[in-house]
Amino acid sequence: MTNHIKSDDAKREIQLIQEGFEVGGYVANTQISTAVYLAKALDKPILVEGPPGVGKTELAKATAAHLGRELIRLQCYEGLDEAKALYEWKYGKQLLYTQVLKDKLADLMEGTNGITEAMVRLHEFDDTFFSPEFLEPRPLLKALQVPDGGVLLVDEIDKSDNEFEAFLLEILSDFQVSIPEIGTIKADVKPVVFLTSNNTREVGDALKRRCLHLYISFPDQKLEMKIINKRVPGVPESLLAQLVTFVQELRTKTIKKLPAVSETIDWARALMLLHTDELDEDLVRNTLNLLLKFEDDIESVENEIPGMIRRARGET
């Protein structure tokens, strides 16, 4: 009986997450909302993989909005290092204070006897220059300092180097960092952490073991229609079905870059601006560049457009 009650409570929490996402404009399936629920309950990061444009980054934004927490984003790139991700010292401010100290040097040295005593007096100011006042927190340190934990998004982790991945793993293991001049800073409340990957390289096994894994694929037709209807209100039902059917078939083609959900949304907005009620050949040819980003891809499907339109419109 107790287990049944707990199970119902968990299902209700997952349902509330899903409903909260939809209120904010993010349409998620049960698998996604379950992963978010478990990540929060287990204090584990989520590694979100999948093709570009399926809503990986938007998931972190939707979670932050749903929880009412601050979103802190770290965009990864080749060569990203600890200084850019964790903290830096405000060198400009330190130089300014150094100049002030220099101008007041005579006053500070007043009453000292000899070099040794003068050096002791100067060393009293060492800690001042390496105090929290002079510290410039970067995304990882910010995430540890947010009072309610916040939501940390480490975007496109696959673009970073293996060395940075190992450093990140160390931070995520304890949610704390040691700054030699200040000491250990530990998160009072652990942030909800999302790491996204477009699979440009294989993420290390150690990091994968630390995280829950979530793969977001292209949505099926029913879910994509629901997403478009949420993000582009007012699309006529017949046009909505046609444009999503067309995009779904387009993703079955052998092309360089399959159209993402974000591009379907852009196409729907464009069709609404053009005041169209249904797909036709000229309209599709003139707007296909919103879906396909390579000229070779456009040329490869050009001869198939009439048939794809007929199928999208339900014609034989």
Q: Which of 87, 45, 96, 61 is nearest to 214 (CA)?
A: 45
Query: According to the model, what pLDDT value does residue 152 have?
Result: 95
Question: Is the C-alpha dihedral spanning 151, 156, 160, 163 positive or negative?
Answer: positive
Percentage of the residues of the chain whose pLDDT score is greater than 90: 59
Least confident of 60-74, 124-138, 176-190: 124-138
- What is the pLDDT averaged over residues 173-191? 81
Query: According to the model, what pLDDT value does residue 125 have?
Result: 55
Residue 100 has pLDDT above 60, yes or no: no
Quick: pLDDT tens for 60-88.
999 999 999 999 999 999 988 887 888 77
Least confident of 13-17, 96-100, 206-210: 96-100
Q: Report how far residue 184's alpha carbon sits from residue 149's, in angstroms, rounded to the nearest whole number.
A: 17
Residue with tokens 């009453």: 111
Phi-psi region of 54 (alpha: psi -120 to 50; beta: other; left: phi over 0): alpha
Say if CB 71 and CB 150 are below 8 A apart: yes
Residue 266 has pLDDT above 50, yes or no: yes
Residue 132 banded pLDDT, cuts 50, 70, 90? low
Residue 157 banded pLDDT, cuts 50, 70, 90? very high
Extents of the domains making up the chain: 2-79+138-215, 87-134, 221-312
Residue 265 has pLDDT above 80, yes or no: yes
More confident site: 105 or 9: 9
Query: According to the model, what pLDDT value does residue 182 have?
Result: 72
* DSSP letters spanning the chain: -HHHHHHHHHHHHHHHHHHHHHHTT----HHHHHHHHHHHHHT--EEEE-STTSSHHHHHHHHHHHHT--EEEEE--TT--HHHHTEEE-HHHHHHHHHHHHHTHHHHHTT--HHHHHHHHHHTTHHHHTSGGGEEE-HHHHHHH-TT--EEEEETGGGS-HHHHHHHHHHHHHSEEEETTTEEEE-SSPPEEEEEE-SSSPPPHHHHHHSEEEE-----HHHHHHHHHHHSTT--HHHHHHHHHHHHHHTTS--SSPPPHHHHHHHHHHHHHTT-SS--HHHHHHHGGGT--SHHHHHHHGGGHHHHHHHHTT--
| Chosen CATH of 2-79+138-215 out of 1.20.1260.10, 3.40.50.300, 3.30.1780.10, 2.10.70.10 | 3.40.50.300
Q: Report how far residue 236's alpha carbon sits from residue 240's, in angstroms, rounded to the nearest whole number.
A: 6
Query: According to the model, what pLDDT value does residue 184 have?
Result: 79
What the block records as the tokens of 257 is 């870059």
Percentage of the residues of the chain whose pLDDT score is greater than 70: 82
Q: Report how far residue 227's alpha carbon sits from residue 17's, in angstroms, rounded to the nearest whole number.
A: 16
Residue with tokens 């017949």: 238
Q: Which of 144, 160, 163 is nearest to 152 (CA)?
A: 144
Which residues neighbour 256 within 8 Å (Cβ) at sequence distance 6 or greater? 294, 296, 297
Q: Which of 263, 75, 228 is nearest to 157 (CA)?
A: 75
More confident site: 21 or 96: 21
Residue 113 has pLDDT above 80, yes or no: no
- What is the pLDDT averaged over residues 108-128? 56
